[in-house]
Copies of this chain bind each other. A is one copy, B any other.
Amino acid sequence: MDQVVTQKPHELLAETLSTKMAAVNTLIQTRMASEHAPRIPEVTAHLVNAGGKRLRPMLTLAAAKLCGYAGEDDVKLAATVEFIHTATLLHDDVVDESGQRRGRPTANLLWDNKSSVLVGDYLFSRSFQLMVETGSLQVLDILANASATIAEGEVLQMTAASDLKTDESIYLQVVRGKTAALFSAATQVGGVIAEASDTQVQALYDYGDALGIAFQIADDLLDYQGDAKTTGKNVGDDFRERKLTLPVIKAVAQATDEERAFWTRTIEKGRQEDGDLEQALALMAKYQTLEATRADALVWAAKAKDALNVLPETAIRTMLVDLADYVVARLH
């Protein structure tokens, strides 16, 4: 589990799936276009070409290939999940007033809120058209439920983020909405179109779910221990934005009265002063919550790998195992 990862598994996946990924990119470009509203490709090109890892569409293609799929609907569903992901980013940008996304200015600094909301809606509708084209009601059911989990998680995050009553189980729901629901839908639909067994489809869901949770916990941990050069974020952004994530939730759970007053002032009331981030980091160190958070991420990565046991032992499966290791390997 603590092995040194010497190659990047998502790059190996991209190489292995390069023909399909090229088809996904072409389909994204085609469906993004709007004859009537040139603003749409202007806004989306900024995000879609921004050099993201395309992790979610790759998961769909990998899951379908792992289950022996030989058709073309995997490409449609891979584009579907990328559109959903991009639409979610656009809507997040509107509401979070976040300044950076993948190292570029967010859409709503380049464009306006109006464009971000409506173009996001347009991408959702395009994703909806693509998934209907597969003609699979099971796929539609999975993606409808994932959409609801995502939307509910986003709303929950909005109310729970600065509320000290937010515990680990609420955090997990938020993380499922924010990240894991689309990961698990991405892998699950790959199995469904390949007509994999129920056991295998469930295993693909479990893999995506656990991988997404590990990925998000890692992200939240790196906010406190990464450096801006590799993560594109400054240490403590979540603290400054008064977002309760796992390292703080664990510290709040063990807080003395005085410490609790500190968290109430800085997170719930948002009255932050110089030195507060250092104090927050000291409290996390006192209770070793960064170590405990890392341990949780490793447990979820292990769950992801375990889930793959019922799937065929192919090169793709090995890459998916390595991917689960990779998302937590950057943690120290």
Interface residues of A (CB under 8 A from B): 34, 36-40, 91, 94-96, 113-115, 117-119, 121-122, 124-126, 128-129, 132, 135, 137, 140-141, 143-145, 147-148, 150-152, 154-156, 158-159, 170, 173
B34 touches A155 (CB 8 A): yes
Closest to A138 in B: B132
Task: Name the one of B124, B129, B159, B170 contacting A124, with C-beta atoms under 8 angstroms.
Answer: B124
Task: Name the one of B95, B125, B140, B151 contacting A140, with C-beta atoms under 8 angstroms.
Answer: B140
A125 touches B141 (CB 8 A): no
* Secondary structure type dominating chain A contacts: helix
Task: Name the one of B34, B125, B137 contacting A144, with C-beta atoms under 8 angstroms.
Answer: B125
How many identical subunits does the complex contain? 2
B contact residues around A36 at 8 Å (CB): 152, 156, 170, 173
Given contacts A124-B147, A148-B125, whether A40 and B155 have CB atoms under 8 Å apart is: yes
B contact residues around A170 at 8 Å (CB): 36
B154 touches A118 (CB 8 A): yes
What would be 13 A-B contacts, judged by CB atoms less than 8 Å apart? A34-B155, A36-B170, A37-B156, A40-B152, A94-B114, A115-B158, A117-B117, A118-B155, A121-B150, A124-B124, A128-B147, A132-B137, A132-B141
B contact residues around A159 at 8 Å (CB): 37-39
B151 touches A124 (CB 8 A): yes
B158 touches A118 (CB 8 A): yes
Given contacts A91-B118, A148-B126, whether A39 and B132 have CB atoms under 8 Å apart is: no
Q: In the assembly, what is the distance between CA of A91 and CA of B126, in Å? A: 17
Closest to A39 in B: B159
Closest CB of chain B to A211's CB: distance in Å? Answer: 22
Task: Name the one of B34, B121, B125, B137 contacting A91, with C-beta atoms under 8 angstroms.
Answer: B121
Closest CB of chain B to A178's CB: distance in Å? Answer: 12
B144 touches A128 (CB 8 A): yes
B contact residues around A91 at 8 Å (CB): 117-118, 121
Closest CB of chain B to A154's CB: distance in Å? Answer: 5
A152 touches B114 (CB 8 A): no
A151 touches B94 (CB 8 A): no
Closest to A136 in B: B137
Q: In the assembly, what is the distance between CA of A152 and CA of B170, in Å? A: 36
Closest to A173 in B: B36
B122 touches A151 (CB 8 A): yes
Closest CB of chain B to A144's CB: distance in Å? Answer: 4
Given contacts A118-B91, A158-B114, whether A125 and B137 have CB atoms under 8 Å apart is: no
A37 touches B155 (CB 8 A): yes
B contact residues around A124 at 8 Å (CB): 121, 124, 147, 151
Q: In the assembly, what is the distance between CA of A319 and CA of B252, in Å? A: 62
B contact residues around A117 at 8 Å (CB): 91, 94-95, 117
Closest to A87 in B: B121
Q: In the assembly, what is the distance between CA of A113 and CA of B96, in Å? A: 10
Q: In the assembly, what is the distance between CA of A38 and CA of B154, in Å? A: 12
Closest CB of chain B to A187's CB: distance in Å? Answer: 20
B155 touches A39 (CB 8 A): yes
B contact residues around A147 at 8 Å (CB): 124-125, 128-129
B132 touches A150 (CB 8 A): no
